[in-house]
Amino acid sequence: MKTIKIGAHNVTLKLPYSFPKQDAIAMVDLDKKVIVMEGGYPVAVTLSSLLHEILHMIDYQGALGLWGRDVDEAGTEEKIDALAEALTQVLIDNKMINPNFMAMLKRESAKKSK
């Protein structure tokens, strides 16, 4: 487990995490401030998934309503996915991520969830 700051909040990152019968790589509990992520994926997929959940948290914390309050709202997840993928590419291609954090993501994302 690792704690990351999102806005003024400490958020727990659990990686690897095993979802019981869940079709997701990552999920955020907005109220408990926890992001859980499956292991066993390439680091770019892990980073994109993490950014996706961070975007949900930023939207929720700021009551921005960028993608709607309901994650099932038409296009919500697709919009967040598109932005997370674009940010992932920029951050990786331009080596803009703390090397220690990137090493931790590589190490932890390589572990299979139990």
Structural domains of the chain sorted by starting position, each given as residue range(s) with its CATH number in brackets = 2-110 (1.10.10)
Which amino acid, 58? I
The strands making up 9-14's β-sheet, listed across from edge to edge, are: 2-6, 9-14, 34-37, 26-29
Over residues 92-113, mean pLDDT = 88
What are the tens digits of pLDDT across the range 21-41? 777 899 999 899 999 999 888
Residues 6+ apart with CB under 8 A from 45: 25, 109
* Residue in the block written with tokens 């914390």: 61
- pTM confidence score: 0.86
CB 5 within 8 A of CB 11: yes
pLDDT digits 0-9 by tens, 39-96? 888 999 999 999 999 998 888 888 777 766 555 566 778 888 999 999 999 999 998 9
| pLDDT the model gives residue 62 | 80
Do residues 109 and 40 touch, judged by C-beta distance below 8 A? yes
Q: What is the per-residue DSSP string for 30-66?
A: TTTTEEEE-SSS-HHHHHHHHHHHHHHHHHHHTT--S
Distance (Å, whole) CA 34 – CA 13: 6
Cα(31)–Cα(27) distance, integer angstroms: 12
